[in-house]
Amino acid sequence: MRKLANIFRLGIKELWSLFRDPIMMFLILYMFSIMVFTAATAKPETLNKAPIGIVDEDRSQLSGRIVAAFFPPKFETPSMLDINEIDRGLDTGKYTFVINIPPNFQKDVLAGKQPEIQLNIDATRMTQAFSGNNYIQQIINGEVNEFLQGFRSAQTAIVDLASRIRFNPNLEAAWFGSLMRIIDNVTLLSIALTGAALIREREHGTIEHLLVMPVTPTEIMLAKVWSMALVVLVATALSLNIVVRGAIGVPIEGSVALFLAGATLHLFATTSMGIFLATLTRSMPQFGILAILILLPLQVLSGGITPKESMPELIQDIMFFAPTTHFVELSQAILYRGAGFEVVWPQFLMLMVLGSALFIFSLMRFRKTISMMA
């Protein structure tokens, strides 16, 4: 009971120390509010308000139908250009797409010829250029077919492909972006908070005070782990309910409590990792540089951006021992697909194993560091 009391009191000390740090408190608030909101809404992955210009040299009924087919929200209202304005509009970045409808276009279409429409694309805007190219072709072909036949072409296919989009019927990018940002922030902030807590004590000289107290390195480390993990866990729960569900309106399919339970196991691993990284550095700038080298692979290769099955087998084998891989899997299964514990228990088990191993490894390093200071 005395050891538990020491761990509890030391953890309370860590919380008070964190609450007195305005920079860290602002970082927590920013990451789980503004950062989550902007990740979901500020960078749409689908075509949205793409600037487009059209040169209509035909001035026919068909060319007018094509011009009228481009409208918000996928495109901005088209700007009617002269043919001499194409290069300048693309060079200045004013337009992503410029369509040039040639003279006698309608006449050639009615004559059964195959006239060409020139589509100029600013490929430096890669995401819009890729999706907009195919989308513009579909729009133009659809308008031409409707003009010729009086209705849209409806050829009977040999095989009827019935698409059923599950979990995100409207393919809303905000649903994915907001939740993945929270998942990434859990890892990033837990490592940063625990590492900063240890470095802050070293810089302020309070670590020496702990060494003369009747507490063990295990108690000191456990206090930092549970206190910083609690802060991240509370921030995650509030962000899910206030920002994701409330402000953005993303429906969460599964149990938030089950997700938070998985996050707790993940935090056990990442907070231990943060302490280990802090024992390797002497200052916050050094810790920040080292953390970047660790966090980038953990987040990029965890399967949150690209499915792990698409990665090289060597990367898959290495990332199997990273806690972020299993945390992303269970988070997506619970929050996106509404999975229960019977589905995600392997990920829970792996997080327990990896968390225990990282804690033991970090504790050994922490004891060594303290003994050198003593």
DSSP string for 77-94: PPEE--GGGHHHHHHTTS
What pLDDT was estimated at residue 152?
A: 45
Q: How far is CA 170 from CA 45, 49, 147, in A?
A: 13, 18, 29
What pLDDT was estimated at residue 154?
A: 47
Query: Is 166 inside any structural domain?
Result: no
Query: Is 181 inside any structural domain?
Result: yes
User: What is the domain-level CATH number for residue 106?
Assistant: 3.40.1710.10
Token pair recorded at residue 349? 């088990």
Per-residue pLDDT at 233 exceeds 90 = yes
Residues 320 and 341 grouped into a single domain: yes
Q: How far is CA 147 from CA 100, 111, 137, 150, 334, in A?
A: 19, 13, 15, 6, 48
Edge-to-edge strand order for the sheet containing 52-56?
79-80, 52-56, 97-101, 118-121
What pLDDT was estimated at residue 124?
A: 83
Residues 182 and 303 grouped into a single domain: yes
Contacts of 260 (CB under 8 A, 6+ apart): 233, 236, 237
What pLDDT was estimated at residue 211?
A: 67
Residues 252 and 326 grouped into a single domain: yes
Token pair recorded at residue 2? 């005395």
Query: Is 321 inside any structural domain?
Result: yes
State the pLDDT confidence band at 227, using cuts at 50, 70 and 90. very high
The alpha helices in the chain, defined as continuous H runs, are 2-19, 22-31, 34-41, 61-68, 86-91, 105-110, 126-149, 173-204, 206-211, 217-238, 256-279, 284-300, 313-319, 323-335, 341-373
How many domains in the chain?
A: 2
Query: Is 208 inside any structural domain?
Result: yes
Q: Which domain holds residue 124?
A: 52-149
Residues 194 and 318 grouped into a single domain: yes
Residues 220 and 352 grouped into a single domain: yes
Least confident of 119-123, 124-128, 295-299, 338-342: 124-128
Mean pLDDT of 334-342: 88
Query: Is 158 inside any structural domain?
Result: no
Residues 214 and 316 grouped into a single domain: yes
Determine the distance from the C-alpha atom of residue 242 to the mean position of all C-alpha atoms in its chain, rounded to a whole number. 18
CA–CA distance, 249 with 70 (Å, rounded to integer) = 28
Residues 178 and 310 grouped into a single domain: yes
Residues 30 and 66 grouped into a single domain: no
Mean pLDDT of the chain: 85
Residues 212 and 276 grouped into a single domain: yes
Residues 327 and 229 grouped into a single domain: yes
Query: Is 156 inside any structural domain?
Result: no
pLDDT tens digits, 65-108: 999 999 888 889 999 999 899 988 888 889 999 999 999 998 98
Mean pLDDT of 10-23: 88
Residues 241 and 351 grouped into a single domain: yes
Query: Is 16 inside any structural domain?
Result: yes
Mean pLDDT of 209-213: 71
CA–CA distance, 74 with 49 (Å, rounded to integer) = 5
Least confident of 21-25, 99-103, 326-330: 21-25
Q: What's at 267, amino acid-wise?
A: L
Residue from 252, 75, 250, 72 nearest 172 by CA: 250
Residues 7 and 74 grouped into a single domain: no
Query: Is 47 inside any structural domain?
Result: no
Mean pLDDT of 215-237: 90
